[in-house]
Chain A
Amino acid sequence: MRNVASKLVSNKAALLGLAIIVIIILLCALAPLMTPYNPTKPDFSAQVQPPGGAHPFGTDKLGRDILARVLYGGRVSILIGLSGAVGGMLLGVIIGSLCGYFRGWLDAVFVKVAELVSIFPQILLVLVLVTILQQSMYNLIMIFIATGWVATFRMVRGRFFSLREESFVEACRVFGLGDLSIAFRHILPNCLGPVIVQLTLNTAGFILQEAALSFIGLGVPSGTPTWGNIMNAAKEIVSINQYPWVWLAPGLAIALFVLGVNFFGDGLRDALDPKQI
């Protein structure tokens, strides 16, 4: 593990990515210290003010401070993106490892389930589930986990199929190790590279999907600021043309965070691969 850390530190892109992630998360977590404004309270004396002065990022049509909205909204967006992706990864890794290692009926069942999930376009599935489960942040996370594990599951299961035939696995058995230890401690670390990449892709993807769903009004209820909801509020042509700061700030926040996650994920994958020095 020491080696992984030192390899990460020497990778500039990964460090930059980590810095972006940490700074954005810190800013969002410490939002009350960063801005005196309430993100949901309208202030009709200060509608659509351009950036500068009391409102560094400007205000929206209801006079709410954009900086406050982006910071408080980031809490929700990042939480949804990260926990959806991490939850999906854990589920996919665990089921994929068990199916790939033990095969048999367990594998047959989960392959069918995974096929069932992936024959529907994901956005359609999300729409249906949102309609059934009601709009809420936690439901959205659940839905992302339920649809997001499939890619990781397939990848891990496939890698297990080839790795379980390697003689180091047989060697583990010969040395008296148990099945679970072989599966999770000896085979699984060999699959982590693509899993990490999938995690970063999913984190970015879920933040964007949340934005998209909120934009069409099916994501997080519009009362709660999220990066997607903020942009949703700026969807008329007037805002796009004349008040670019209303959508530019949350858009940049999404782009920056996703970029950071991708950089860091790439570096982490390289650091976990012992063949890359």
Chain B
Amino acid sequence: MSENKDILLSIRNLKTHFHVRKRVIRAVDGVSLDVRAGKTLGLVGESGCGKSITAHTILRLLPKTARIKDGEIIFHSRKRQPVDLLKLQPSGKEMRGIRGNDISMIFQDPMSSLNPVYRIGDQIVESILEHENTTRAEAMERALEMLKRLSIPSAEKRIREYPHQFSGGMKQRVMIAMGLICNPELLIADEPTTALDVTIQAQILELMQELQRQLGFTIILITHNMGIVADVADDVAVMYMGKIMEFGSKEDVFLRPSHPYTRALLKSVPVLGNSGRDLLEPIRGSTPDPSDLPEGCSFAPRCDFAKPECGQAIPYVDVGNGHLVRCVLAEGREVRDGQ
């Protein structure tokens, strides 16, 4: 985790907590991550582990009950000086200038992420008109170009249609067009394909990769689907109960998983063509109550390798090549697993 020039976003010790009726829910509890410019980071974890809250913290779009307790999110934009997003006013001018313009986001449910009463062209140009000084006609021209890039058939006609006239996959393309229209440096995709069927999923992911090659933006892909991560990510961060359990390049994490949680996750993914002997191994137990997390490693109660030390502070160990693991088992293995 060195201060490389090609790091676009570096998150350090981020803590976002929720205060709900005197209970404190530590949704994000000490997340540290580096997002490499022009690459795709897959942020995986099960429901409720804090993936989306991390994304919303980056954009400073948190509900009123959320408090950012600690940490920093340094955004190394090409267009401006490095800025700590946590130091900006959430609804201030500067943060609103970054949202949509430098950092953009697309959502899980394309059915409800477009406004039903506006034509899709009008919705796409909204973002341009908010951030840039152009005429509506010019903005429309760019929207049309973007829709063509996203291979929407007869884009000239469809730009004047309403969301209900689009299928799910087409709506998600429109959503991506909206996300990319201002040429952002970072696109956060929050489960962008979960609501789509499998063939459309593949199309959308391919399209996103193709556009990434053309336009050079960075993607944070939030998903619970290990298959998608294996497919499109360069780096992988595995998250559990508000903490990053393992972080590294896709090869390191998938071929040399070092955290028992990652290994358990990988074993629980069905693989096409598995023989009857390779049964899926579910992770035993269920996630702990987020308002009452155990001290130390929050995975320890479900871990087959739990030791007494798991109840204390867990080191974040580099086992080689920036492959980071938060586990007592990784201690003292700094280089062994690396190469």
Contacts and interface: CB of A to CB of B under 8 A. Distances in A.
Tell whether A pairs with B: yes
Nearest to A275: B164
Contact of B104 (A167, A175, A177, A178): A175
B109 interface: yes
Interface of A: 166-168, 170-179, 186, 189-190, 272, 274-275
A83 to B, nearest CB: 27
Interface in B162-191: 162, 164, 175, 178
A175 B117 contact: no
Contacts of A175: 99-100, 104, 126-127, 130, 178
A186 B115 contact: yes
B162 A274 contact: yes
What DSSP secondary structure best describes chain B's contact surface? loop
12 contacts: A168-B115, A171-B105, A172-B115, A173-B99, A175-B100, A176-B100, A176-B127, A176-B130, A176-B131, A179-B91, A186-B118, A274-B162
Interface in B85-109: 91, 96-101, 104-105, 107-109
A189 B100 contact: no
Nearest to A166: B112
Contacts, number: 71
A170 B127 contact: no
A190 B163 CA distance: 13
Nearest to A179: B91
B113 interface: yes
A143 B293 CA distance: 58
Contacts of A166: 112-113
A120 B130 CA distance: 46
Given A176-B127, A179-B91, A275-B164, A167 B113 contact: yes
B271 interface: no
A173 B109 CA distance: 16
B20 to A, nearest CB: 16
A264 B122 CA distance: 27
A7 B17 CA distance: 50
Contacts of B116: 168, 190, 274-275
A176 B126 CA distance: 10
A167 B115 contact: no
Interface in B38-87: 59, 61
Given A168-B113, A189-B118, A174 B164 contact: no
A258 to B, nearest CB: 28
A10 B178 CA distance: 33
Given A189-B117, A275-B164, A177 B130 contact: yes
